[in-house]
Amino acid sequence: MQWINAKVKKINIWNNNLFSLILRANVNNFIAGQFVRLTTLKSKNNIRRAYSYVNSPINKNLEFYIIRIDSGSLSNELYNLKKNDFVMITKESFGFFTIKEIPKCENLWMFSTGTAIGPYLSILQYKKGLEFFKNIILVHAVRFIKDLNYLILINNLKKKYNNKLKVILISSREKSNISISGRIPKLISNGIIEKKANIIIDKNSHVMICGNPEMIIETQELLKKDRNMKKNLRSSPGNITTENYWK
Ligand SMILES: Cc1cc2nc3c(=O)[nH]c(=O)nc-3n(C[C@H](O)[C@H](O)[C@H](O)COP(=O)(O)OP(=O)(O)OC[C@H]3O[C@@H](n4cnc5c(N)ncnc54)[C@H](O)[C@@H]3O)c2cc1C
């Protein structure tokens, strides 16, 4: 694995826990939806962690949307970086959470929790490969409304895609007029998400799920049981593609 220097161009501190890191580095080309590994120069135990690109592959500002974990090792160090500091980044990108792995179908569902909206923002900003889908439904679940830090970009994307892109915001611990409340698996099983999108999750759909592993397991099990869906494998195409952010 080749590591190279990356310079901090900007750091957007959204609140006590959430921030976006914008780096410049001579990385190799990547595919929207992929991730790199980062470490800091002072990371004592050489801790390396995976972070998904938020930016489109054609944008030279390498953007990562990150949560600072209270007891977390690397995320705290990244949170405290300043403009013009250096970090290390892998020159290569990794992962198969990309559109070219998704079989063609009518409706593409993009489910995310927290910072796991990142890969979808990269995919949607890049746009290429999405022509085949009739509808794209981006579902972003957060705990509080203050955690919805990419609303401006999301609203711009909605305009760019016209009616093709539907956005459903979920806040699990707060009620608001821009979001529905609850958890993703429950909101699928009680039909609220589909009603809101006016689209059914059926065999004409592919469901991408990213973020919290518990949510991913529950959602996947539900889709397998109730909707007769199966995991998408290269050797055996299906309708569920997932990426866990931790174990
Ligand atoms: C493929 C992949 C892509 C990833 N992309 C991102 C990304 O774009 N943004 C991002 O913030 N994280 C992302 N992560 C998670 C990231 O790699 C680290 O696990 C995270 O930054 C915590 O590292 P740490 O050293 O600070 O904490 P650690 O000491 O390693 O603590 C890990 C614990 O933190 C919690 N945790 C980790 N990640 C998250 C998260 N995203 N949201 C809520 N709780 C979490 C879990 O409880 C986990 O057990 C990704 C992980 C993978 C596998």
pLDDT tens series, the chain, 247 aa? 899 999 999 999 999 999 999 999 999 999 999 999 999 977 667 899 999 999 999 999 999 999 999 999 999 999 999 999 999 999 999 999 999 999 999 999 999 999 999 999 999 999 999 999 999 999 999 999 999 999 999 999 999 999 999 999 999 999 999 999 999 999 999 999 999 999 999 999 999 999 999 999 999 999 999 999 999 999 999 999 999 999 9
Residues 32 and 153 in one domain: no
| pLDDT given for residue 24 in this prediction | 98
Residues 64 and 128 in one domain: no
Give the amino acid at 67.
I
- Sign of the torsion angle spanned by Cα atoms 225, 226, 232, 237: positive
Instruction: List 52's β-bridge partners, or say none.
Output: 35
Residues 105 and 223 in one domain: yes
Determine if ligand 1 sits within 6 Å of the CB of residue 206.
Answer: no
Residues 141 and 35 in one domain: no
Residues 76 and 155 in one domain: no
Q: How far apart are CA 123 and CA 55, in angstroms?
A: 8
End-of-domain residue from the set 90, 118, 145: 90
Which string of DSSP letters, residue by residue, matches 171-209? Answer: ESS---SS-EES-HHHHHHTSHHHHHHT---STTEEEEE
pLDDT, tens digit, 9 for 90 and up, residues 115-138: 999 999 999 999 999 999 999 999
Q: How far apart are CA 246 and CA 242, in angstroms?
A: 12
Which atom of ligand 1 lies nearest, measured to the CA of 75?
Answer: 26
Determine if ligand 1 sits within 6 Å of the CB of residue 72.
Answer: yes
Q: Count CB atoms within 10 A of the CB of residue 52.
A: 28
Q: How far is the CA of 17 from the centre of ligand 1 (A)?
A: 12
Residues 26 and 107 in one domain: no
- Tokens 């972070």 sit on residue: 51
End-of-domain residue from the set 42, 70, 90: 90
Tell me if 113 sits within 8 A of 211, measured CB to CB: yes
Length of the chain as a residue count? 247
Determine if ligand 1 sits within 6 Å of the CB of residue 58.
Answer: no
Q: Of all protein residues, whose CA lies closest to atom 34 belonging to ligand 1?
A: 69
Domain count, the chain: 2
Q: How far is the CA of 148 from the centre of ligand 1 (A)?
A: 18
Q: Per residue in 128-138, is it b (16+ CB within 10 Å) or e — as a string? A: eebeebebbbb
> Which CATH number characterizes residue 143's domain?
3.40.50.80
Q: How far apart are CA 215 and CA 45, in angstroms?
A: 30
| pLDDT given for residue 45 in this prediction | 72
Q: How far apart are CA 223 and CA 29, in angstroms?
A: 34
End-of-domain residue from the set 55, 73, 90: 90
Q: How far is the CA of 158 from the centre of ligand 1 (A)?
A: 28
Residues 146 and 226 in one domain: yes
Residues 33 and 128 in one domain: no
Residue span of the structural domain in which 125 resides: 99-244
> Which CATH number characterizes residue 84's domain?
2.40.30.10
Residues 156 and 103 in one domain: yes
Determine if ligand 1 sits within 6 Å of the CB of residue 126.
Answer: no
Q: How far apart are CA 191 and CA 41, in angstroms?
A: 48
Where are the extended beta strands (E) located within the chain?
3-13, 18-24, 35-40, 49-52, 62-67, 86-90, 107-113, 135-142, 165-171, 180-181, 205-211, 240-244
Instruction: List 89's β-bridge partners, or say none.
Output: 4, 38
Residues with Cβ within 8 Å of 46's Cβ and at least 6 positions away in sequence, in order, are: 39
**Taking the CA atoms of the chain, what radius of gyration do you get in angstroms?**
18
Residues 184 and 210 in one domain: yes
Q: Count CB atoms within 10 A of the CB of residue 105.
A: 16
Q: Of all protein residues, whose CA lies closest to atom 27 belonging to ligand 1?
A: 72
pLDDT, tens digit, 9 for 90 and up, residues 35-45: 999 999 776 67
Residues 147 and 64 in one domain: no
Which atom of ligand 1 lies nearest, measured to the CA of 52?
Answer: 8
> Does pTM top 0.75 for this prediction?
yes
pLDDT, tens digit, 9 for 90 and up, residues 182-212: 999 999 999 999 999 999 999 999 999 999 9
Residues 86 and 124 in one domain: no
| pLDDT given for residue 118 in this prediction | 98
